[in-house]
Amino acid sequence: MVNKQKIYKTLSEMAEGDILEYLQDVSELLFNERDLQMHLATFLRQTGHYDDVDVEYYVPLSELKGYIWNNELRMDVLVRKGKEFLPIELKYKTKTVRKKLLRFGEAVAEEVEVMKNQGAQDLGMYDFWKDVRRIEIVRKRFKAIKSGLAVFVTNDPAYLKAGRDTSNHILFSMTEGTHGKEKHWLDKESACCKTHPDFEVEKDYFIHWELRKVEGIDIYYTLLTI
């Protein structure tokens, strides 16, 4: 149920409240990131809180100073209230879930893989912090953006666990607590370092995880205000 009663001071507070409400109330498994993106955007539109809700919002790389990645920038979700815009970046990382489905009103005969095993948690962590940095860069460039939100959802508890201090990806950790600015690989000769360049974020960020069950599956999620 969409909460229309609460009064928010800022656009980011409003969007954060709506996103958390959606994640707390969702009752069916989301199969992949696109599934999350489209369902969340639909929910945000239905709140009536925003003048516009867009998806895959394209920003030319030529406009972004300090953008070190070659791939184009498309913000997963963008909301607008008046003249203020707020970008929302999503990551949805999964491990295998098999279950029976209802299709066209009928149960399929066998269990099917509805969530794939993505693995490569080190790169999944990198991608989350990359989202944080992308929002920082876009916010700095455009005056109509006061803040942004980075959302991470997963059914893989490996993302919550602390790695060894010698792990190549330790500075990309997503454990509960405060995380520093440096997002660097420890092994500069590793394949990860060659394909995914080091970077820094603007400040320390605090990660807090929430947990709920959806169709018997543990779903973990966290949200950062940028």
Q: For the chain, which residues make up each domain, given as ranges? A: 11-225
The model's pTM = 0.93
- pLDDT confidence of residue 9: 87
Answer whether 16's CB lies under 8 Å from 22's CB. Answer: no
Nearest to 176 by CA among 210, 213, 217, 127: 210
The pLDDT profile of the chain, 226 residues, written as one tens digit per residue, is 455 557 788 999 999 999 999 999 998 889 999 999 999 999 999 999 999 999 999 999 999 999 999 888 999 999 999 999 999 999 999 999 988 888 898 888 788 888 899 989 999 999 999 999 999 999 999 999 999 999 999 999 999 998 888 899 999 999 999 999 999 999 988 899 999 999 999 999 999 999 999 999 999 999 999 9
- pLDDT confidence of residue 1: 46
Residue 124 vs residues 2, 57, 79, 156: alpha-carbon distances, Å: 31, 22, 25, 11
Residue 200 vs residues 55, 68, 104, 207, 212: alpha-carbon distances, Å: 26, 11, 48, 17, 31
Residue 111 vs residues 12, 99, 115: alpha-carbon distances, Å: 40, 5, 12
72 Ramachandran zone, left/alpha/beta (phi>0; psi -120 to 50): beta
List the structure tokens of 41.
Answer: 């955007």
